[in-house]
Chains A and B, each alone.
Chain A
């Protein structure tokens, strides 16, 4: 089967619907008059699975567009950079984590090249972020993270 939009949609809906249905079967069903926690999830996930089957059947008509992947690296680079940011935020402090995210995400661009100007710009931006979010807006994020005790974490 070719990877068309309908196949992806239908497959996604069917898979999520079936998994959700199997999980929902463990929750008490109740009666229509006294719906238990399982009542609504079973209804919705069953409908979702059926919708998925419907879309998969439609996919056999071959009407929908083929999916083409032009470049998939940005997907991994950018997601990875953000996950690393989430992990490092309280350990490195906000400015350093922002700097890493900026540079890390930027490498995903086709036009990316190392230049001291861009790095300096990112550094200034991270300091501005630190001042803006932590000092001015008072978000409870450390400026100097727990991994940097040598710098005198507050």
Chain B
């Protein structure tokens, strides 16, 4: 199927009244939950997951994508108005965004973020249209060896790009892989780490663990320091960027989009990397670098554009290879599997309506965000100002119902509580949980591909170094690992990641 008939099919799928309505509802709900302080995209998506159960797969995926964009944008709103980044990649936005807000330019900062995101979203979507079929075509020739190496690269990137030490990241990846092994081994049928419990035979549900660690774990950590939670919200004035703003943000948006589109495809933490590099680039080439950090509109527009472009292109490896690059994409895969859809190179051929419908509704979702968010910003500001003591019991209720509804199991609710406590322990111990979440999805895949690769090569591990794609991927992973040990890169990483928590 060529691109144009694909897009046409996508337009037909996305523009049905049902799908459009759910896209709209997803964007609205995603933003509403995403603006709540402390709820990043992962917690937002997992809390809103039950709303997509019972929908047909394409509608569910379209709504999920809407929720995803909404939560991203909501996160930026909170970052700008309250100086509270919902997730790592909006940390950069707080630097200049909140500085602008303090100067009474919150509206213009929000507009810069929205316009930058929309432009980047459009370019990102176009990039998916062109690149995804190409990559899917290539991926058909990938064997287990190539897949295994790609997974290794993804895990290494996620270790390198989290705050904290490399050793901690490595431990979290291993722990995630170990958790991924719980349940029946697909190949031999042996029950592993089930402790004799029939509830564990199907393995740990990914959504349950993500909700526990990110949703509940966050509540528990916030409650401990409840009295010190800051709650000052900047006032939103004029939303319209001035002529000077337009002039200053055009270049940064274009460059940020370029960076985001390219880095988003990388496995690992492309989102985070892209917003940091876009910010660093603008600061470097700007002729007034001293303004950065004190309310430069370039410092809002560029990382927001990069962030959103990367969020868009992160779908490419997820959909075409079935390999999630970020923890959020891993959650999307978890949600797809609940729907009975297995992402991979065949998705374009077997479910073209789903793929193209998603692509087109991504663009519609971005358009809706632009139209919705600027007029509704007053409402979002009200939502942000809900006191935490009213908010957190509601978060508990939504996470608990969401987890229960996956397979109507009280056991899953207990499991979520356990992982909530564990998430709290991770936070106290300074261990970033994102690599664990990614490894939880990638671990079982790694085992399966390793087993198949070694089966074909009769146990000869040199096969990973003879396939060109595989050796190339592993070399990139090795370079990343070595680079983190170099002092100059190390310093940049520490500067960039110090505020991430």
Separation of A11 and B420 alpha carbons in the complex (Å):
19
Separation of A70 and B414 alpha carbons in the complex (Å):
25
Separation of A36 and B186 alpha carbons in the complex (Å):
11
Q: Is the CB of B223 within 8 A of A33?
A: no
Q: Is the CB of B389 within 8 A of A35?
A: no
Q: Is the CB of B461 within 8 A of A82?
A: no
Decide if B459 is an interface residue (CB 8 Å cutoff).
yes
Partner of A108, one of B177, B223, B401, B421: B223
Q: Is the CB of B393 within 8 A of A102?
A: yes
| Min CB gap B440→A, angstroms | 12
Mostly helix, strand, loop or mixed at chain B's interface? helix
Chain A window 82-111, contacts with chain B (Cβ cutoff 8 Å), 1 for yes, 0 for no: 110111011000100010011101101111
Chain A window 62-80, contacts with chain B (Cβ cutoff 8 Å), 1 for yes, 0 for no: 0011010111101100110
Separation of A147 and B426 alpha carbons in the complex (Å):
38
Known contacts A89-B410, A108-B223, A137-B54; A33/B459 CB under 8 A: yes
Decide if B16 is an interface residue (CB 8 Å cutoff).
no
| Min CB gap A5→B, angstroms | 4
Q: Is the CB of B393 within 8 A of A105?
A: yes
Q: Is the CB of B389 within 8 A of A106?
A: yes
Among residues of B, the one whose C-beta sits closest to the C-beta of A88 is B410
Separation of A71 and B413 alpha carbons in the complex (Å):
24
| Min CB gap A94→B, angstroms | 8
Partner of A78, one of B181, B219, B410: B219
Separation of A140 and B185 alpha carbons in the complex (Å):
30
Decide if A152 is an interface residue (CB 8 Å cutoff).
no
Q: Is the CB of A137 within 8 A of B53?
A: yes
Residues of the A chain whose Cβ atoms lie less than 8 Å from the Cβ of B450: 35, 40
Q: Is the CB of B216 within 8 A of A55?
A: no
Which of B33-41, B110-118, B224-232, B333-341 makes up part of the contact surface?
A: B224-232
Q: Is the CB of B413 within 8 A of A110?
A: no
Residues of the B chain whose Cβ atoms lie less than 8 Å from the Cβ of A13: 171, 174-175
| Min CB gap B251→A, angstroms | 41
Q: Is the CB of A20 within 8 A of B178?
A: yes
| Min CB gap B499→A, angstroms | 15
Decide if A32 is an interface residue (CB 8 Å cutoff).
yes
Separation of A141 and B455 alpha carbons in the complex (Å):
46
Separation of A142 and B387 alpha carbons in the complex (Å):
31
Q: Is the CB of A122 within 8 A of B393?
A: yes
Residues of the B chain whose Cβ atoms lie less than 8 Å from the Cβ of A69: 224, 428
Separation of A62 and B425 alpha carbons in the complex (Å):
20
Residues on A close to B: CB < 8 A? 5, 8-9, 12-13, 16-17, 20, 23-24, 27-28, 31-37, 39-41, 44-45, 47-48, 51-52, 54-55, 58, 64-65, 67, 69-72, 74-75, 78-79, 81-83, 85-87, 89-90, 94, 98, 101-103, 105-106, 108-112, 118, 121-122, 125, 129, 133, 137-141
Chain A to chain B: the 6 pairs with minimum beta-carbon distance, closest first: A33-B459, A86-B413, A74-B223, A32-B459, A37-B190, A8-B429
A-B contact pairs, 13 of them (CB 8 A): A5-B428, A23-B193, A24-B192, A32-B461, A39-B451, A48-B178, A58-B165, A65-B430, A75-B224, A85-B397, A98-B397, A102-B394, A105-B393
